[in-house]
Amino acid sequence: MDWLSQLGYKVVSPANPLKNTSTVNPDGSVSTGGATTMSGYTTIEAEFMDAALLTAEACPFLDISDIL
């Protein structure tokens, strides 16, 4: 939540959860759920795509695979 708070006015729609997710496995099979219990998205506003990318790259959830 600290990351979202630091974004201030740039956040248009924060922490929207995705529900009823599925995972497509390397063998092509599909299973219910994901590798983590956390999934979702946040919409941000930026003047330029490069600014949006820099903001997104700082998201701590991108390191979730390191936690698993």
For the chain, domain boundaries: 2-67
Dmax (CA) of the chain: 43
- Structure confidence at residue 65 (pLDDT): 52
- Structure confidence at residue 64 (pLDDT): 59
> Does the pLDDT of residue 54 top 50, yes or no?
yes
> Does the pLDDT of residue 11 top 60, yes or no?
yes
State the pTM of this model: 0.62
* CB-CB contact of 25 with 31 (8 Å): yes
Separation of alpha carbons 38 and 23, rounded Å: 13
* CB-CB contact of 15 with 23 (8 Å): no
- Structure confidence at residue 43 (pLDDT): 93
Separation of alpha carbons 41 and 60, rounded Å: 13
Unique residue bearing structure tokens 């998205």: 41
